[in-house]
Amino acid sequence: MNLKLISALLVAGLAASAGAAPKYPFPRAGTYKYGVKAGTTYAPALGGEINTAFKAWKTAQLDSSGSMMRVKFDNTTYTVSEGIGYGMLIMVYMDNAVNNTQGQFDKLWAYYKNFRNSNGLMHWKIQGFSSANQQNGATDAELDVALALLMAYKQWGNAQYLTDAKSLISIIWNKEVASNRLKPGDAWDDYKNPSYFSPGALELFKLVDANGWDAVMTNEYAMIKANQNATTGITSDWCTTSGSAVQGKETKQMGMNYDGVRTPWRLAIGYAWHGHADAKVINDKLTAWLTSSTSTIGNKVANIKDGYTQSGTATSTYYVATFVGAFGTAGMTNADRQAWVNSTYAQLKVGADGTGYYHSSLKVLYQLLMSGNFNNFWDSASMASTSIPTHERPLAGATVQRQGRQLTVDAGTLTGLQADVIDLKGRTLRTGSTQGSNLSLDLTGLAQGIYTIRLKSAGSGEARSIALTGN
């Protein structure tokens, strides 16, 4: 066994891998300028519900070939551009010294660029790493990819990300916006999908692009409010520009199904980051019905199903993360819905089905947003006030060294120091306390992998460093 110790949180300036150190490493323990987040203990840098969901998603959905990486679709032979957008967002927010996601972000972006059409937009469905199966762009994917590039610039400091974001945003304006409205793609403009509208992204586009994004947002919000059912607040998958619901392109159903379920989530971001009043009005109406005793859900998260007519009748029977999380994020715009947000977040952890392409991708994104880890990196004042949890802060005065299979901790002036070696399942495998000023742990027998070295001091709280075993 060859151990390499990286005390990333104890010794400033050390990096776990190649690539730029993230300016905003996961987890952030952040709050948002507007609204509420789940009032619950959430994932530390290693272990916990978000990192667990992230690792499950990576294992099941990612496929790499050379300089490119793709997110596998439900039919794993294919990849859709929407999935590349989800993947890039996840990578930019999950980076830290252990997850080391920048290289994977770059590979996902390389995949997008490799399968672009003549307009500079990725064909929306690709067969593996070979060729387009369904041609031309899908606007929801482009908005997510552009947003991810903007955040990547702030996260890792590479100006090329900003250049790429500006270029893509310009293409979106020229090819996927018409009459100050979002088109569903660059090659078609029949009906509209409310869940393609990403106000969190469009508000940031204004910072780097001079086109009329305010007018687009005004029109999109007006369309969604006209489309929303007056009693339930449920929006439909597809609608006309005036808001009249039409049949879904895939399901051929009316109402909210898998095509349109993301609307509350996207609006929740618009409110959390920018305080959009329209986003609050729309989501508050939905959660008023969700938590009402007269609704088919009746304020009981376990009653959520995966499809609804706009009048509120369930059209399917499955209990899945895609709908639980979407309805949960809707509550983030109203402090009166704190209990609802907490309950839905808890079900994302353990109850709702989070397997498969769509469920697993959105589960990670929902959890990031609801936990305070989907911050607006462009809001410097907000990010400056975001604190790292006490248990992730450096433990001043302690140093960690490894010689052979012995891990030695110099307590310095600290008293009552304890060290634990913890695996990714949260199991404590080794423990020890100071004898004099030093503490020694025997690492013999540990398998290759990633471990947490947790340090505690009676007078100085707790910190974590990362021990890696490898070749």
**First CA to last CA across the chain, in angstroms?**
7
Sign of CA dihedral 290, 292, 296, 298: positive
Confidence class for position 14, pLDDT limits 50, 70, 90 = very low
User: Which pLDDT score, from 0 to 100, does residue 388 have?
Assistant: 46
Residues annotated catalytic, as ranges: 82, 140
* pLDDT score of 191: 95
Split at pLDDT 50, 70, 90, the class of 383 is confident
Helix runs in 177-261, H state only: 199-208, 213-227
CB 426 within 8 A of CB 47: yes
> What average pLDDT does this structure show over 115-143?
98
Domain of 419 in residue numbering reads as: 2-6+390-470
Residue ending a domain, among 334, 354, 384, is 384
Q: Is the pLDDT of residue 469 over 60?
A: no
What is the rounded average pLDDT of the residues 250-272? 92
Which of 334, 365, 384 is the C-terminal boundary of a domain?
Answer: 384
Co-location of 278 and 408 in the same domain: no
**Helix, strand, coil proportions of the chain in percent (round to 5)?**
40, 20, 45
Which residue, of 362, 384, 406, is where some domain finishes? 384
Between helix 139-156 and helix 199-208 the angle, nearest 10°, is: 60
C-alpha 237 chain-centroid distance: 22
Give 24-68 pLDDT, tens digit per residue.
Answer: 988 876 789 999 999 754 434 334 789 999 999 999 999 999 999
- Is the model's pLDDT at 228 over the cut of 60? yes
Are 278 and 394 members of one domain? no
Same domain, 208 and 79: yes
Indicate whether 181 pLDDT > 50.
yes
- Residue 27: inside a domain: no
- Tell me the pTM: 0.81
Q: Total domain count for the chain?
A: 2
Within this chain, do residues 246 and 100 fall inside the same structural domain, yes or no? yes
Structure tokens at 332: 């983030």
Give CA separation, 46 vs 15, 43, 123, 415, 462, in Å.
Answer: 16, 7, 36, 26, 14
96 or 287, higher pLDDT: 287
Does one domain contain both 331 and 401? Answer: no
CATH number of the domain at 399, please: 2.60.40.3080
- Is a pLDDT exceeding 80 seen at residue 387? no
Sign, Cα dihedral of 6, 7, 12, 16: positive
Distance CA 30, CA 33 (A): 10
- Both 198 and 103 in a single domain? yes
Q: Is residue 275 part of a domain?
A: yes
Whole-number pLDDT of residue 46: 38
Could you tell me the CATH number of the domain that includes residue 106? 1.50.10.10
408 and 357 in one domain? no
d(CA 214, CA 324): 31
Do 133 and 157 lie in one domain? The reply is yes
According to the model, what pLDDT value does residue 450 have? 60
The overall average pLDDT reported for the chain is 87
pLDDT in tens, 411-437: 777 777 788 777 655 677 888 877 566
pLDDT in the model for residue 395: 62
Q: Report whether pLDDT(464) > 60.
A: no
Residue 235 has pLDDT above 90, yes or no: yes
Same domain, 284 and 355: yes
As a whole number, mean pLDDT of residues 136-141 equals: 98
**pLDDT tens-digit profile of 287-298?**
999 999 999 999
